[in-house]
Amino acid sequence: MSIRKKLVVAGVAVLMVVSAAMAELKVTPYGAAQYRLRFQHNSFDNEQYDAENDRNVSQAPGTFDYTHRLSYRMGVRATFDDQFSAQFQIGNDWNASENVNWTSNNGPSGRANADRQLYLHLAYGRWNPGFMFIEAGKVPLSSNGTLDLLYARQTTGSYESAAFNGWGDMNNSAVGLKVGVPILQDDFKLGVELFHSMLNPRSFTGSIDAETTERDIEQNPRPHEMLFVLTVPMQSGPLRITPEFTFITSREYANDSTGGVDHEMLFGANASYKVNDGVTVNANVGYGMMSNSGTRDETEIAGVAIEPKMGFNGLLIGVGTSIKAGPGTLQLAFNYANTTEWIDVTGIDDITTSYTYGDIRYAFKLHDRVTFTPRYRFYLYGFPEETVGNQAGNISAHTHSRFDNRFELTLDMSF
């Protein structure tokens, strides 16, 4: 057989293989856009010190704002067979959305510094032979209490904002490896899932000696800051419960001869119960904590430690319900979170910052692909009280609380 005929035969064979593979591959594109009209009112309970009368004067200034907001996402799901699938999705911050202005409209003067937030939501493959599953890449990862606290901690340094700015701001996904094993699949379902990722990998530095050309490599003594999330989903009839444990290794590192580290631990759970076809209730709780027990210098001078014990902990509690009512669905949610920072010098002193959040919305369809949602949310931020020593115990000039009201009209369109 001539080389030309061999190439033709090989080409036909490749086409047959590709055609057979494409016949099994199912690709489904999807996307959604959301547009919001937001009316927002903010008020602050402030205290200013009146030096002339030696007293604090309470003030409650307020502001009103009106904005347009845009959220969008699009992606594709690919299924090869009953064991392997993949998904890719891009978009902006679907929860927070982005402010509509001249720049976001591609205004000519703003293209160089556009503030659009397009980024990758999902990019992963899933292999599921039945007895287990493996997902790798930017994988779906929902919070069961602890990840909301983790997100708040990563972005603000404390836990209390988890009542509002939770894991949903990450589009419920993260880069890493997730492995799951179904243990029971009868009337009572039970499984175990472990997600692992890197938050801050250890770095290396290197240099080359100009004379000897020898390479000098130094390793950062700080250990890897790694993330582990263990969940145990279980279900019995209409009741679902998912305990969750999150562990961050080497959150803080003592850059001295001791090489001590502090780890962060978070515990939580989510539960939902389907009362009937029209009513579902849910609840979640999370608790996080960390102290300087591993990195603290325990040296004492005259019986007093030069570095006191200190740390912080945080609590998140949330409840909600979904009720079918008339042509749509009513959703209610209430969250409370706080952060308590403590220090032990001659006894434990602490301050607590809290955040309370409520959400009421009613969604109904104008079309199979169009949903209209009026929505009201409130936010109450409680700041800690502090004293000023040179003013005989008067409360310092500061903000006691902040109260926000948000009214929104939202239009969702999807395919």
Residue 96 maps to a domain: yes
Residue 206 included in any domain? yes
Nearest to 410 by CA among 157, 128, 67: 67
* Per-residue model confidence (pLDDT) at position 197: 97
Q: What is the mean pLDDT of residues 189-199?
A: 97
Domains in the chain, number: 1
pTM: 0.82
What tens digit of pLDDT does each residue of 207-234 get? 555 565 566 556 556 788 899 999 999 9
Q: Does residue 11 have a pLDDT over 80?
A: no
Does any domain span residue 283? yes
Closest to 154 (Cα-Cα) out of 137, 134, 174, 129: 174
The residue behind tokens 């409840």 is: 319
Which of 122, 29, 26, 134 lies closest to 80 in space, CA to CA?
26
How far CA 414 is from CA of 29, 35, 341, 367, in Å, comes to: 11, 12, 44, 10
**Residue 145: pLDDT above 90?**
yes
Q: Comparing C-alpha atoms, which of 230, 229, 226, 231 is closest to residue 263?
A: 226
Residue 87 covered by a domain: yes
User: Backbone phi, then psi, for 139, in 5-degree steps?
Assistant: -100, 160
Instruction: Look at residue 410 and tell me if it is in a domain.
Output: yes
pLDDT band for position 91 (50/70/90)? Answer: very high
Distance between CA 251 and CA 228 in Å, rounded? 13
pLDDT at 180 exceeding the cut of 50: yes
Domain encompassing residue 126: 25-106+117-414
- Judged against a pLDDT cut of 50, whether residue 242 lies above it is answered with yes
pLDDT tens digits for range 251-295: 877 665 556 888 999 999 999 999 999 999 999 999 999 988 887
User: Is the pLDDT confidence value at 5 over 80?
Assistant: no
Q: What percent of the chain has pLDDT over 70?
A: 74
Q: Is residue 12 in some structural domain?
A: no
Q: E-strand spans in 157-260?
A: 173-185, 188-200, 204-208, 215-219, 225-231, 234-236, 239-253
Q: Phi, psi (5° rounding) for residue 158?
A: -145, 175
In angstroms, rounded to a whole number, what is the distance separating the alpha carbons of residues 338 and 169? 19
Q: What is the pLDDT of residues 41-76, one digit of tens each?
A: 987 765 555 555 555 555 556 788 999 999 999 999
Question: Does 20 map to a domain?
Answer: no
Is residue 4 in a domain?
A: no
The CATH number of the domain holding residue 300 is: 2.40.160.10
